[in-house]
């Protein structure tokens, strides 16, 4: 349990550092194409820029949003073991870049 908590804090810190230093999260996470493709395949049919913009407005704090997204994905069409991190990275990076509704 403690290791899981440390991992969550570590992920949150990486996201926060990327936001604060303006490092693109896509590069920090590795494969930009894989990240975007995972979101589009798993989420993109129903969720797009309007939803991402809304989530960003509703949860302006990146760490709070991270926790919410982790909990939300466990219940809402749970992705495979590796996909939640990719999906969350995509959403967080789009919000950090100012995703605008279409």
Q: What pLDDT was estimated at residue 15?
A: 56
The pair phi, psi for residue 47, each rounded to 5°, is: -120, 135
Instruction: State the CB neighbour count (10 A cutoff) for residue 54.
Output: 13
Instruction: State the CB neighbour count (10 A cutoff) for residue 29.
Output: 20
Q: What pLDDT was estimated at residue 30?
A: 52
Per-residue pLDDT of the chain (102 residues; tens, 9 = 90+): 555 554 554 555 555 555 554 545 544 445 678 889 899 999 999 999 999 999 999 999 999 999 999 999 988 877 688 888 889 999 999 999 886 554
Task: Look up the domain containing 16 and give its range.
Answer: 2-96
Instruction: State the CB neighbour count (10 A cutoff) for residue 22.
Output: 7
Name the DSSP letter for residue 58: H
- Any domain includes 80: yes
Structure tokens belonging to residue 48: 């797009």
- Using an 8 Å Cβ cutoff, are 100 and 53 in contact? yes
- Any domain includes 102: no
- Any domain includes 101: no
Number of domains in the chain: 1
Q: What pLDDT was estimated at residue 77?
A: 77
Name the DSSP letter for residue 16: H
- Any domain includes 22: yes
- Any domain includes 54: yes
The rounded Cα 96 to chain-centroid distance in angstroms is 10
């Amino acid at each position: 349990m403690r290791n899981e908590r440390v991992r969550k804090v570590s992920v949150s810190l990486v996201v926060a550092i990327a936001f604060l230093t303006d490092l693109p999260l896509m590069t920090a996470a590795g494969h930009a194409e894989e990240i975007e493709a995972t979101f589009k395949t798993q989420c993109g049919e129903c969720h797009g820029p309007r939803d991402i913009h809304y989530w960003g407005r509703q949860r302006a704090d990146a760490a709070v949003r991270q926790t919410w997204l982790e909990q939300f994905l466990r219940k809402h069409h749970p992705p495979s073991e590796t996909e939640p991190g990719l999906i969350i990275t995509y959403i967080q990076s789009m919000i950090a870049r100012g995703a605008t509704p279409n």
